[in-house]
Amino acid sequence: MRLSRRNFVKKTTLGGIGITLLGEGGISEAFSAPTILQGKDDRIVRLGFIGVGGMGTNLLRSCLTMQDVEIQAICDIDPKAMSRALGLVEESGRKCPDEYSKDEEDYLNLVVRDDIDAVVIATPWLWHTPMCIAAMKAGKHVAPEVWGASTIEECWELVKTAEETSMQCMMLENHCFDRIEMSVLKMVRDGLFGEMLHYECGYCHDLRDVKFRPGAEFGPGSEGEARWRTVHSQKRNGDLYPTHGLGPVANCMNDNRGNRMVSLTSTATKAKGLHEYIIQQGGKEHSNASIDWALGDIITTVIKTHKGETVTITHDTNLSRPYSNNMMVQGSKGIWMYYRDLCNSLHIERRSGRHRWEPWENYIPEFEHPLWKRFSSEGVRGDHGGSGYLKIRSFVECIKSNIPTPIDVYDTAAWIVVTPLSERSIALGSTPVEFPDFTNGKWLTNKPIFGLTDRFSDDTK
């Protein structure tokens, strides 16, 4: 289903490492850990920020710790968010950035500045694509925060614009930089699990108090993400937020780099959670009690890959439950399972003992990712356990060095298109739908990313 961005936005407000990538033909092949934490030259990356709500503020804090980054301009129509952001820059001792807060279109004035190299975008989901496109057409690289696409067409528009302008578009998926997921990626690369067969992942997070913060209404009179996020649950039935789980899994399966996702089917349960929460919090007479919610409480998506692997993704945000991305990778010789606060365990054939699980920590001395070895030794920093810092640092270093980002526009498009594809499958009675090939066949020869090769220098060990 299409949501009207213009009509929708009238009721909302904006808010919310050096890395070296090696490879031929502009294709990323490997991380080089030595530079991801501190650049080796004096080149400066000049950034503009659009959206400094929760995630935008986290990204800004990380960038303010980087000596090779300048913050030239900030755009946000929320006065509180803007004031906080400007205060953070002032506290850092840097020059105060220019302010763009006139209206919801003022970002167009920011992206055309000639003193900005790249734009960081952390706004409501409906704005990500038009902001990315406007910035790339203005000659700026873009780093949008995580989202699910509204339409398949907007994914193609992202790809087409990036190709026509030669600008980078890197979605800032922090879970691709988590220590646990990166160590498991090394295990997959090193063949610990044998030939890969199946993956599970998801976004299982009780968001009821986010969708109804502070527990009364949603929309323009509410606070936080309820101003813009909740309407998606009212109007859409699909996996609205697939990339936290899918991003790390896509790296493991070499998506768009020798392999790709070819089709999916999605199924939705009935919708009960949000209605019952409203009744519980506000009673049967509450103004939101009569809403007919489109989003099923649990969305289950099954993906088939070109190489014959399967991926199961779960979206579960309307029910009482602890947070977990429900990660699992399984091959012919072993399995890893991670349910946050519940288990983080492996079983490896001929190594773990028959029918026995082992703690993930037992394998870290052998399979710690070199990037995290260096990060841990120099001091983990930033939000989300350090992954929030690493994702923006990787973008900065790639722009600084004029090399491809580890998550490119084809990855971004392939991951966010799961949302409209899942909507289509559910609407058609869980019918299989095909993935677009955003690479136009380049996936056949593209090289893997986050690969671990003998190109790492000795100081990563």
pLDDT tens-place values along the chain, 461 residues long: 334 444 433 433 332 233 332 222 222 333 433 344 444 567 999 999 999 999 999 999 999 999 999 999 999 999 999 999 999 999 999 999 999 999 999 999 999 999 999 999 999 999 999 999 999 999 999 999 999 999 999 999 999 999 999 999 999 999 999 999 999 999 999 999 999 999 999 999 999 999 986 555 666 556 778 889 999 999 999 999 999 999 999 999 999 999 999 999 999 999 999 999 999 988 999 888 999 999 999 999 999 999 999 999 999 999 999 999 999 999 999 999 999 989 999 999 999 999 999 999 999 999 999 999 999 999 999 999 999 999 999 999 999 999 999 999 999 999 999 999 999 999 999 999 999 999 999 999 998 876 543 222 333 22
Distance (Å) of CA 251 to CA 147, 159, 181: 18, 19, 10
- Please give the Cα distance from 354 to 326 (Å, whole number): 24
Give the predicted TM-score (pTM) of the model.
0.89
User: Both tokens of residue 235?
Assistant: 């109007």
- Please give the Cα distance from 143 to 128 (Å, whole number): 10
The secondary structure of residue 76, as a DSSP letter, is -
The secondary structure of residue 394, as a DSSP letter, is H
Task: Report the pLDDT value the prediction gives residue 218, as an integer from 0 to 100.
Answer: 66
Residues 6+ apart with CB under 8 A from 70: 44, 45, 46, 47, 94, 95
- Please give the Cα distance from 80 to 66 (Å, whole number): 25
Task: Report the pLDDT value the prediction gives residue 163, as an integer from 0 to 100.
Answer: 98
Question: All domains of the chain, ordered by start, with CATH?
Answer: 5-175 (3.40.50.720), 178-369+409-448 (3.30.360.10)
- Phi then psi dihedrals of residue 120, to 5 deg: -100, 130
Task: Report the pLDDT value the prediction gives residue 41, as an integer from 0 to 100.
Answer: 66
The verdict on whether omega for the bond into residue 359 sits within 30 degrees of 0, i.e. cis, is no
Q: Is 245 helix (H, G, I), strand (E, B) or coil?
A: helix
Let me know: does 328 contact 199? Beta carbons within 8 Å.
yes
User: Both tokens of residue 109?
Assistant: 């004035």
Let me know: does 120 contact 147? Beta carbons within 8 Å.
no
Query: How many residues are listed for the chain in this entry?
Result: 461
- Please give the Cα distance from 403 to 20 (Å, whole number): 8
Let me know: does 147 contact 125? Beta carbons within 8 Å.
yes
User: Both tokens of residue 95?
Assistant: 């020059």
Minimal CA–CA distance to 174: which of 59, 48, 314?
59
Residue carrying structure tokens 């498009």: 413
One-letter amino acid at 225 equals: E
Distance (Å) of CA 378 to CA 35, 241, 457: 12, 33, 17
For the chain, how far is it from start to end, CA to CA, in angstroms?
A: 50
- Please give the Cα distance from 49 to 308 (Å, whole number): 41
| HSE of 21, CA atoms in CB hemisphere, 13 A | 25
Minimal CA–CA distance to 317: which of 295, 292, 290?
295
Task: Report the pLDDT value the prediction gives residue 214, as an integer from 0 to 100.
Answer: 54
